């Protein structure tokens, strides 16, 4: 994962300079950095949730890439989305079993279908919802809160926040919580399902997706993660 | 994540393939391919990615020999999409000589190869497009081949080694169009031998 932070830094720089196609290239590379570094580790030995979340987080960076292509007006958004979907199919088939991870993988597929202008997003989100309902039926509020902050879940939440802020709005936290005010996987998904396409369309029309300050992985994070793997 | 690491993983994959452990070899070739994809700083020609494509074709072939159809098609689909993305990529391709302009034909060849090796359908359209590129650009000699075509030749040699039982040296024809025809004549026949895999006759 040595180059994850380097790729993300470069992507953010290009995005800040409104060079969105180049930003898309580097977000893609960051996505590969996550997928490669975690995938071979997961295949060779089970080291738990962190790496599975980081594996799926790689696909969130593919969402950033596809969105940058969309904002740049490039039709490559569709290809990037299709590549992500094909990768997710393989991950589901071979690497993840827990309903939360399966649900997240379908959520990401729904997102990619929306960003890439592909059909089938509703079915993907419906499958994700089924999986998340199963998680929520068997977990208490504290456990559900933990899931929402796992790698992958955390990033996909930040992604919809960045899209929303990109059109000058803000995410209403109440939209992401259940009737008792606790974080909810299903509510978060429904919010994103209903908003994402409209947000990407607006950013595409504007041709700008402003960069907001946010904490990204640093070179130190990369080294720490490599130490965990080794 | 580096190209060097990709080469190290390829060495493991080669060893597994030679031992006949095709499912495991397929995994390692995939890992090596993604290492290359992740180490490919954007460029118009996609040289590093083309090495990844060679490895992905080898992964696809190994999964085919192992009878893992879903994984075979998955890798082929990734290879097709990656090639289409390079073709669509709007980055400077310099120097812009007649020879360099024919390089893009390699990516049409890759698509054709993935369609055949992944059993995704008819590859003719893509090979025709490659030939059109070569014809328009002076049909360069294969002895001057750049990275992308070298990767394509290497995969063909690997497929020949895996799917035929003798050790005949593959002689690459002199021009890109002659090469393409040579491959179109032979790769489908080579892949027909996958049907014999259950009988343990592949190397």
Express each pLDDT in B130-146 by its tens digit: 999 999 999 999 887 88
- Which single residue is written with the structure tokens 């999964």? B63
Shortest CA gap A80–chain B (Å): 8
Which residues make beta-bridge pairs with B141?
B175
**Cis peptide upstream of residue A151 (ω within 30 degrees of 0):** no
Out of A191-205, B3-17, B173-187, pick the least confident. B3-17
**C-alpha radius of gyration, chain A, whole number:** 17
**C-alpha radius of gyration, chain B, whole number:** 16
Contacts of A20 in chain B (CB under 8 A): none
Tokens of A48: 């738990």
Instruction: Please report whether residue A15 resides in a domain.
Output: yes
Q: Is residue A227 over pLDDT 50?
A: yes
Q: What is the pTM of this model?
A: 0.89
Write down the pLDDT at residue B89.
Answer: 79
Number of domains into which chain A is organized: 1
DSSP string, A112-160: HHHHHT-S-HHHHHHHHHHHHHHHHHHS-HHHHHHHHHSTTHHHHHHHH
**Complex ipTM over 0.85:** yes
Write down the pLDDT at residue B136.
Answer: 93
Residue A30 to residue B5: CA distance in whole angstroms: 17
Residue B140 to residue B134: CA distance in whole angstroms: 7
Record: contact B1-A82, CB cut-off 8 A:
no
Write down the pLDDT at residue B164.
Answer: 75
Shortest CA gap B194–chain A (Å): 23
Record: contact B88-A86, CB cut-off 8 A:
no
* Average pLDDT of the residues in B35-64: 85
Instruction: Please report whether residue A216 resides in a domain.
Output: no
- Which single residue is written with the structure tokens 């390829």? B10
Instruction: Please report whether residue A102 resides in a domain.
Output: yes
**Helix A99-116 and helix A121-138: axis angle, to 10°?**
160
Nearest CA in chain A to B33: A36
- pLDDT tens digits, residue range B105-133? 999 999 999 999 999 999 999 999 999 99
| Residue A173 near residue A124 (C-beta atoms within 8 A) | no
The domain in which residue A161 lies consists of 4-205
Write down the pLDDT at residue B199.
Answer: 45
Instruction: Please report whether residue A196 resides in a domain.
Output: yes
| Strands of B92-149, DSSP E | none
Instruction: Please report whether residue A119 resides in a domain.
Output: yes
Write down the pLDDT at residue A1.
Answer: 46
Instruction: Please report whether residue A194 resides in a domain.
Output: yes
Q: Is residue B72 over pLDDT 60?
A: yes
Q: Is residue A176 over pLDDT 90?
A: no
Q: Is residue A141 over pLDDT 60?
A: yes
Partner residue opposite B88 with nearest CB, options A43, A76, A93: A76
Residue B61 to residue A43: CA distance in whole angstroms: 20
Write down the pLDDT at residue A125.
Answer: 98
* Average pLDDT of the residues in A33-49: 60
Instruction: Please report whether residue A161 resides in a domain.
Output: yes
Instruction: Please report whether residue A123 resides in a domain.
Output: yes
- pLDDT tens digits, residue range B17-26? 999 999 999 9
């Amino acid at each position: 994962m040595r180059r994850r932070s380097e790729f993300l830094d470069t992507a953010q720089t290009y995005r800040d300079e409104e060079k969105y196609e180049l930003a898309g290239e580097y977000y893609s590379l960051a996505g590969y950095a996550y997928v490669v570094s975690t995938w071979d580790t997961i295949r060779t030995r089970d080291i738990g949730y962190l790496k599975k979340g980081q594996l799926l987080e790689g696909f969130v960076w593919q969402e950033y890439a596809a969105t940058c292509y969309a904002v740049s007006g490039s039709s490559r958004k569709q290809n990037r989305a299709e590549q992500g979907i094909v990768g997710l199919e393989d991950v589901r088939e071979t690497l993840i079993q827990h309903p939360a991870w399966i649900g997240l993988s379908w959520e990401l597929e729904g997102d990619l279908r929306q960003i890439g202008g592909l059909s089938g997003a509703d079915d993907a989100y419906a499958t994700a919802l089924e999986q998340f309902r199963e998680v929520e039926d068997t977990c208490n509020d504290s456990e559900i809160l933990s899931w929402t902050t796992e790698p992958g879940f955390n990033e996909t939440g930040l992604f919809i926040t960045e899209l929303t802020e990109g059109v000058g709005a803000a995410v209403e936290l109440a939209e992401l919580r259940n009737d008792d005010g606790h974080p909810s996987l299903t509510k978060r998904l429904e919010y994103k399902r209903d908003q994402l396409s409209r947000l990407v369309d607006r950013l595409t029309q504007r041709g700008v997706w402003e960069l907001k300050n946010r904490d990204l992985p640093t070179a130190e994070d990369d080294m720490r993660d490599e130490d965990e793997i080794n | 994540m580096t190209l060097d690491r990709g080469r190290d993983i390829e060495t493991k994959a080669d060893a597994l393939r030679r031992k006949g452990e095709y499912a495991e070899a397929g995994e390692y070739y995939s890992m090596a391919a993604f290492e290359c994809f992740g180490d490919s700083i954007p460029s118009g020609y996609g040289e590093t990615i083309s090495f990844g494509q060679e490895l992905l074709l080898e992964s696809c072939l190994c999964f085919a020999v192992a009878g893992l159809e879903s994984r075979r098609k998955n890798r082929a689909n990734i290879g097709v999409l990656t090639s289409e993305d390079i073709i669509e990529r709007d980055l400077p391709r310099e120097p812009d000589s007649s020879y360099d302009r024919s390089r893009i034909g390699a990516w049409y060849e890759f698509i054709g190869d993935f369609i055949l090796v992944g059993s995704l359908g008819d590859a003719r359209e893509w090979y025709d497009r490659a030939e059109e590129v070569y014809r328009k650009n002076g049909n360069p000699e294969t002895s001057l081949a750049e990275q992308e075509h070298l990767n394509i030749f290497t995969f063909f040699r690997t497929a020949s080694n895996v799917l035929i039982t003798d050790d005949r040296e593959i002689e690459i024809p002199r021009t890109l169009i002659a090469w393409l025809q040579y491959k179109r004549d032979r790769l489908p026949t080579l892949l027909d031998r996958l049907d014999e895999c259950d009988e343990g006759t592949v190397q």
